[in-house]
Structure 1
Amino acid sequence: MSVTGAREGTGARAISPGRFAGKVVVVTGAAQGIGRAVAARVAAEGADTVLVDRAELVHEVAAELAASAATDGTTAVGVTADLETFQGASAAVEEALKLRGRIDVLINNVGGTIWAKPFEHYGPEEITKEIQRSLFPTLWACRAILPHMISQQGGVIVNVASVATRGVNRVPYAAAKGGVKAITAALALEAAPHGIRVVATAPGGTEAPPRKVVRGPQPDSDREKAWYQQIVDQTIDSSLMKRYGTLDEQAGPIAFLASDEASYITGSVLAVAGGDLG
């Protein structure tokens, strides 16, 4: 989960220059938050990046990265797609291949709690929307990219799950992110013979700038605000470090798992939540 906080943490730190040199990295959900921070991080480390999001904002972000990368020969481009459908995921992959010719790394970052409330207060349509938002983009993107990575006999898929699989007031979101963890474990078994690694991080609470494109309705009534505060309190209590993380602290582990430095890691889910294992 992410939350607005005082520390924006939008800039990459502890950069490893050239770590992704010669690689094409696709980052989904790249217009804001963790996805944007990851795209900036891998671009700074030499990747040719393809930023995917359903928000038009992604083109602005890609242009900013392209401008900053122009001096070192790397490139960044934005692609708009609705990854909640297989058609959208397939179109995004095809566009990335058209633009770059290959894809070495896919980072699946789409997802996020839409509502925050006890499960008995969720309507059936809300439950469906939570699953569509936080499970299907990863499932469809993995399915769309897999034939290409099999054909090139190599690649890395990094999924972004969550430690909220054990958290209050987010049962549908927890179910979706639990599915992301399951995708990671099961697909790693199938993909390993083709030289493909499949890994994941499980972020905890993360401070981020205010979203330019909101996920859903904000807490309005006193009861809704209290439900959301329960999430914040539980997140901090569950962290041994008793705080939210920064975007940098999420982008770093994702970049590591995506890199050749993690070449002997697959099927693993790394909790990045200050000691909360979910």
Structure 2
Amino acid sequence: MSAPVSSDDPLSPPLVSPGRFCGSRVVVTGAAQGIGMAVAARIAMEGGHVIGVDRSTLVEDVCAQISSLAHDGGRADPLTADLETWEGAEAVADRSGTVDVLVNNVGGTIWARPYSEYSPEQIEAEIRRSLFPTLWMCRAFLPAMVAAGAGTIVNVSSVATRGVNRVPYAASKGGVNAITAALALESAPHGVRVVATAPGGTLAPERKIARGGAPESKAERRWYQEIVDQTVDSSLLKRYGTLHEQAAPICFLASSEASYIDGSVLPVGGGDQG
């Protein structure tokens, strides 16, 4: 089976809950494309004020499009930052002001290969990409939430904590799961919820900003194909999910409808528990 391709439009959710985020300020990272764009669009269409964060200036056009489609007073404002650094996360927190919800969506496999084929530099790059943005953003936004006695953090993990050819990425997402569990325990007495989803394979339009180089050698193409095959085989539904099938549970966990859910990681992988 080859890698799936989708025409799923992140700006056109099939279902919204009108007014669910009215009056809420929500930071969504990785908002320039993919799952982050779909989450930002849905929250704005449900009345929320979204601060869409990405290191690409593409987020500016995306937020303008989202604002033009928003309902119930919703809108999206862009911020650019490198969230792999503490300085980037701190700057976003300073510029965002008081927020009700933080959605940590930045991350993603850069290379697909057996662990013995990763260079030390590639291992460090994978960890910086998929662990540190969540670690830094939680640290940057938590103090204000604790001071306010309220807030919700939704982390985006992955069922690939049990997956082939991406051990450093799996380690990063295992760290995101640990952040979610440990920080929820610390934060609950202060009125702050910390939860996560763990997406499985997800259909998406071709990325405008590549995470890494496309597989070029015969071995690289085979290793990537092994990821695709294992992802489908591990899913009870035997398919990839859509952007909106990932955005919907994230938005649910971010909303007041999930007020009695804390410290949990919800697998969203068609039955793959990760």
Residue identity (%): 64
After TM superposition, give the deviation of residue 73 of structure 1 in Å: 2.4
Moved over 6 A (4+): none
SS of the equivalent of 2:56 reads: coil
Match of 1:244 in 2: 240
Q: Provide the aligned length of Structure 1 versus Structure 2.
A: 271
Secondary structure in 1 matching 2:237? coil
1:184 aligns with: 180
1:30 aligned onto 2:31 = yes
Deviations 1:197-253 (A, max 9, x none): 000000000000001111111100111000000000000000000000000000000
Partners in 1 of 2:18 and 2:249 — Cα distance? 16
How do residues 81-92 of structure 1 correspond to structure 2 at under 5 angstroms? Answer: 81-92=81-92
* Distance in 1, Cα, partners of 2:49 & 2:110: 31
Q: Is the 8 A contact 2:156 2:198 kept in 1?
A: yes
- How far apart are the structure 1 equivalents of 2:166 and 2:209? 21
Cα shift readout 1:64-113 (whole Å, capped 9, x = no counterpart)? 111222x642221000000001110010111111xxxx200000000000
The aligned residue for residue 173 of structure 1 is 169
CA deviation string 1:11-47 (max 9, x = no partner): 2122100000100010001001000000001111110
1:135 aligns with 2:136: no
Mapped to 2, the partners of 1:166 and 1:9 lie a distance apart of 29
Q: Against the structure 1 CA distance between its residues 154 and 30, is the aligned structure 2 distance closer, same or farther, given a 3 Å change threshold?
A: same
Residue 145 of structure 1 corresponds to 141
Higher mean alpha-carbon deviation, 7-16 vs 227-236, is at 7-16
2:220 aligns with 224
CA distance in 2, matches of 1:184, 1:274: 22
Aligned: 1:42 with 2:43: yes
Letter in 2 for 1:92: V
SS in structure 2 at match of 1:206: coil
Cα pair 2:150 2:191 within 8 Å, conserved: yes
Matches within 5 A, 1:257-268: 257-268=253-264
One-letter code aligned to 2:29: T
Taking the TM superposition and a 5 Å limit, the aligned residue runs for 1:173-212 are: 173-212=169-208
Give yes or no for contact 2:19–2:72 (8 Å, CA) kept in 1: no
Deviation at 1:123, TM superposition (A): 0.3
Could you say what secondary structure the match of 2:193 adopts?
Answer: strand
1:257: Cα distance to partner?
0.3
Normalising by structure 2, we get a TM-score of 0.97
Question: Do 1:27 and 1:39's aligned partners in 2 also have CA atoms closer than 8 Å?
Answer: yes
Q: Distance in 2 between matches of 1:73 and 1:32?
A: 23
Gaps of 5+ in 1: none
Q: Spell out, residue by residue over 1:153-199, the C-alpha distance to the aligned partner (whole angstroms, 9 max, x if none).
A: 10000000000000000000000000000000000000001100000
Q: How far off is 1:268 after superposition?
A: 0.1
Q: TM-score, normalised by structure 1?
A: 0.96
Contact residue 22 and residue 72 of structure 2 kept, 8 A? no
1:226 aligns to what SS in structure 2?
helix
Q: Output one character per residue of 1:46-73: Cα deviation in whole Å (capped at 9) or x when no partner.
A: 100000000110111011111222x642
Question: RMSD in angstroms over aligned alpha carbons?
Answer: 1.0
Residue type at the aligned position of 1:235: T
Q: Secondary structure at the match of 1:16?
A: coil
